Chains A and B, each alone.
Chain A
Amino acid sequence: KAGVTQTPRYLIKTRGQQVTLSCSPISGHRSVSWYQQTPGQGLQFLFEYFSETQRNKGNFPGRFSGRQFSNSRSEMNVSTLELGDSALYLCASSVGLRNEKLFFGSGTQLSVL
């Protein structure tokens, strides 16, 4: 069974640009969560999607958005990039909402110059 796949693996952008990250969950998993990982803050929750609906949202500005498609694949978008957005963005999937075992992808490393 394939694991959680995130693309691209690395991204370099400049301030003011926008970026879209992609996540394909494990087959059969309907919940997808996104986390931002930085050395100083650790893992911070961005949002969670289930059946194409955002079910929970963390404390991030509106520049961070996401969506989920009918096949459970998810994308997150960051507009008007800032230097502080440089981080590892991790996607995690689980079978259902409130399923307590998360399966993580390897992440997308975003560098904003």
Chain B
Amino acid sequence: GDSVTQMEGPVTLSEEAFLTINCTYTATGYPSLFWYVQYPGEGLQLLLKATKADDKGSNKGFEATYRKETTSFHLEKGSVQVSDSAVYFCALSGRMNRDDKIIFGKGTRLHILP
């Protein structure tokens, strides 16, 4: 079945460092790919998405490119801030049938030190 694998955390970086959180997927067909973020004490919120190969999703300085050849959707940010500390979830939505659910990775906790 469809699945998402993302790097284990926690990831600890200093402010202004470069961030990469790896995400790879297994899916039949051509899924849509997402990054969701969960700040402390809150539910998840959509950070960015990409719906087809080579699409780049971007928001709040974060970017991720849909790479079909490597089945990856790595999250990057050039200069992180303390306020980026959160848990990040990679997810996919299959397109094989109308009832496909959104599948999430296990999440990567990010700590940014001032």
> A residues near B, CB below 8 A?
4, 33, 35, 41-43, 45, 48, 55-56, 58, 90, 92, 97-98, 100-107
CB–CB B89/A55 < 8 A: no
Chain B: residues with CB nearer than 8 A to chain A?
32, 34, 36, 41-46, 49, 51, 89, 93, 98-107
Q: Which of A55, A100, A103 contacts B102 (CB 8 A)?
A: A100
The smallest beta-carbon distance between A31 and chain B, in angstroms, is 11
Give min CB distance, B31 to chain A, whole Å: 10
In the complex, A104 Cα to B99 Cα: how many Å? Answer: 19
Closest to B103 in A: A45
Our pick among B34, B44, B49, B107 for the contact of A104 (Cβ within 8 Å) is B44
User: Is the Cβ of B106 less than 8 Å from the Cβ of A105?
Assistant: no
Contacts of B93 in A (CB 8 A): 98, 100
Return chain A residues, CB-CB under 8 Å to B45.
103-104
* Nearest neighbor of A94 in chain B, beta-carbon distance: B102
Given the interface pairs A102-B44, A102-B102, the reply to whether A42 lies near B49 with Cβ below 8 Å is no
